[in-house]
Amino acid sequence: MRTKLLPLPVHRGVAAATALAVAVAIGAPVVLAADGTSPAAPRNLTIVPERVTEDGHVDLEWTHPRSGAVSHYEVHRHYGQAASDPAVDETTFWMATTELTAADLLPAEGVYRYAVVAVDADGNRSAPTAWRSVRYDDPANGDELAEDTEGPAAPTDLTAEPAITQDGAVSLTWTAPEAEDLYRYLVYRSEGEDPATFLGYVEAGLTYFEDRLEADGTYWYTVVAQDQVGHLSRRAEPVKVIKDSTAPEVVIRTPKADETYRPAGSLAVQIRVKDEGAGYGEDAVAYFLDGRLLDTPVIPLADLADGSHTLEVLVTDRAGNVGRATVSFAVDSRLPSDAPTMITKSAVTNSLTVRFAWEPPLAEGVTGYNVYRAEGDGEFVLIGTTAADVTQYRDVVPGEGRWSYRVAARYGERKGEPSGAVVFTVDQTAPTIRITSPVDGETYPAEGELEVAYRVADRLAGVDAGQVVVELNGDAFTGSRINLARLAEGEHTLTVRATDRAGNAAEAQVTFAVVDLPAEEPGDGPATDDVALRQQVLALLAKWEGKIHHGHLQALKAKAMNGNWAAFVHHVHKFAGKFIHPQAAKELLALFGLDLTDGWPWWKGDWRCRDRADGWKDGRDDDPKGAREGVRDDDRDDDDDDRYDDDDDDDDDDDDADRSGVGNGWKSGKGNGQSKDKHPGRGKKWKK
């Protein structure tokens, strides 16, 4: 089923289970009340057969509560012996119905217990009925019960994208455990140290869930697998998501507002940032002096004209929120001063050794100089002195960072005003480069264009745009998209090189492959066939809209509208079972004469497009892997492959069952995952 987030916060998992199940099963609106009068419990729950079923069929019946309006009923089921009554929660919830009856087909031998809860239109739930039990004992298995005692393994590789969100949208994906009788997944979320809250179910066959967070904070997600009889797995390793929609608070400490400075030396900008959410990186701070972006947070006072100037600082946190602060200050060359004049310009370097020089002040009587150093936004501290005739200094800094120096003249016992600062940004670390497109190791069909996407980051010195070089197969590449149709078949290499302002260099490289698409043969269908195919594809996408992740659905629609069929098939095959329901993928691929068993790159074979007379064909004479016997044509016997089953009744049943989703209990398989007559085997099939 397409998972849905509850419209209101829910603190009891069972209320969430009820709301989700009813929304899918009977189309009722999801309304959860915080409090209210609950209906009375249903009465007279009976099970037929009363004690033992030999074929696994069970019928339940109950009567209406004595008081209270009822919107629907929840049926709960528990497997196995228990010393006390089981909890009536999301783990035992099995279906919702508006009727006073239900039917079950039990998946394995053993003892099952049932209870029913009444729910009104506001979501108020009654107490459960007394639990009733029945034993499934198949005579064909002998005297001993063949009970199911083993639960599924926990889901693995649980990831949340994005890990930091501004708008609250979160997509979870995971890897399914290996289990033939997997029924569904239960998704949980907790905030901070609070207990986990149940969010909803995801049916077996899908491994994604979409959520939307409302309040800022730190959240944890986990997923539990549940099999047909009700056994639960361990919880998947939790993943953290930060919701942050609050901009950072920025305060500019230096320069001071309305302060007047002499046009000498430099002034290191000092700021204080408060961000309690996603946090921010040093490369996410931008400094603008009179509207011009500064390469480093250093104001060149010596280069400024007399008058008023404005500094604006923008800080973008990891969620994309932007905080800003602005300060105005003045520069006046007429200020009297007994301070030295710093003549060394601020610089970026990868050396720990720095040197600077200054000119003596205009005032007479200098007896020596004091040299001061500050790290980052710290205070200036005295690090050395020189004689009156020495106007230069050499220092070795402890490590990377931003180091500011000032010099003050001594006039006997009196100390004069300090000079303007010279700032050295010491950076010995190369930039980091991350290439996101092309994907390393990916194979692309030779059609259309592929976006080139990468990110270059440098914590201290920064990187100028002119110092980033992109090469494709060793040749300079200046575009933003690669024309795949112009590349030769085989492997290709994209390289990104970057050098920061301190001279540190870095390189990143990805290798991807391009495979040719065979040309269409003469006699292949005219353009109108492409229109017909597009209509078929769009109709199937509309049919399965609820079971294809919305981002992938839009991508598939775009490929279909552009006629990029090779890319379309590649996309479906790649994400089947992850973001595309397996049955949806099967039906989409069947339009092209393909199925999910075609693991080899199908476009490398002698594959042909639509032929107006014979439908989709595979032009290969031999299958090197023996994985296929050919694909559909008009002469093919539909019974040979259930992909082309023309039994309308069966197809309708399958569609209805798949669309109903997990949680309402209409259909779930055991073993082969089917409950239709044409696929015999045990399973459970709820009936209204």
Please give the pLDDT value at position 14: 37
Is pLDDT at 467 greater than 70 in this prediction?
Answer: yes
pLDDT (tens digit per residue) in 201-230? 999 989 999 999 999 999 999 999 999 999
- Mean local confidence (pLDDT), 548-574: 80
Is pLDDT at 22 greater than 60 in this prediction?
Answer: no
Is the distance from CB of 247 to CB of 323 less than 8 angstroms?
Answer: yes
Question: Has this prediction a pTM greater than 0.85?
Answer: no
Lowest-pLDDT range of 109-113, 246-250, 677-681: 677-681
Sequence-distant (6+) residues with CB within 8 A of 526 are 612
Please give the pLDDT value at position 597: 67
Q: What H or E segment, with its residue span, contains residue 416?
A: strand 414-418
Give the up-direction half-sphere exposure of residue 104: CA atoms within 13 A in the CB hemisphere.
28
Structural domains in the chain, sorted by start = 156-243 (2.60.40.10), 249-331 (2.60.40.1220), 341-426 (2.60.40.10), 432-515 (2.60.40.1220), 527-646 (no CATH)
Please give the pLDDT value at position 42: 96
Please give the pLDDT value at position 27: 33
- Mean local confidence (pLDDT), 265-287: 89
Is pLDDT at 41 greater than 50 in this prediction?
Answer: yes
In single-letter form, the type of residue at position 95 comes to M
Percent of the chain scoring above 90 in pLDDT: 54
Q: Residue 338, SS3?
A: coil
Q: What is the DSSP string of 119-161?
A: E-TT--BPPPPPPEEEEE--GGG-SS--B---PPPPPEEEEEE
- What is the average pLDDT value for the chain, to the nearest integer? 80
How far apart (Å, rounded) are the C-alpha atoms in residues 356 and 337?
A: 20
pLDDT band, very low/low/confident/very high, at 262 (cuts 50, 70, 90): confident
Is the distance from CB of 20 to CB of 663 less than 8 angstroms?
Answer: yes
Q: Residue 645, SS3?
A: coil
Please give the pLDDT value at position 519: 53
pLDDT top residue among 652 and 94: 94
Percent of the chain scoring above 70 in pLDDT: 79
In single-letter form, the type of residue at position 208 comes to Y
Q: Quick one: tokens of 101?
A: 């009856």
Smallest Cα–Cα separation from 123: which of 21, 5, 4, 1?
21
Is pLDDT at 663 greater than 50 in this prediction?
Answer: no
- Mean local confidence (pLDDT), 404-411: 95
How far apart (Å, rounded) are the C-alpha atoms in residues 653 and 639?
A: 18
Is pLDDT at 357 greater than 60 in this prediction?
Answer: yes
Lowest-pLDDT range of 142-151, 189-198, 679-688: 679-688
Q: Please report where in the chains the tokens 């942050």 appear, as a residue.
A: 244
Smallest Cα–Cα separation from 200: which of 381, 418, 18, 446?
18
pLDDT band, very low/low/confident/very high, at 565 (cuts 50, 70, 90): confident
Sequence-distant (6+) residues with CB within 8 A of 88 are 14, 74, 76, 115, 117, 128
pLDDT (tens digit per residue) in 313-326? 999 999 999 999 99
Q: Quick one: tokens of 54?
A: 């030999």
Q: What are phi and psi of 398, to 5 degrees?
A: -65, -25
Considering Cα of 584, then 585, then 586, then 590, what sign does the dihedral take? positive
Is pLDDT at 599 greater than 70 in this prediction?
Answer: no
Classify strands 307-316 and 249-254 as parallel, antiparallel or unpaired.
Answer: unpaired
Please give the pLDDT value at position 554: 73
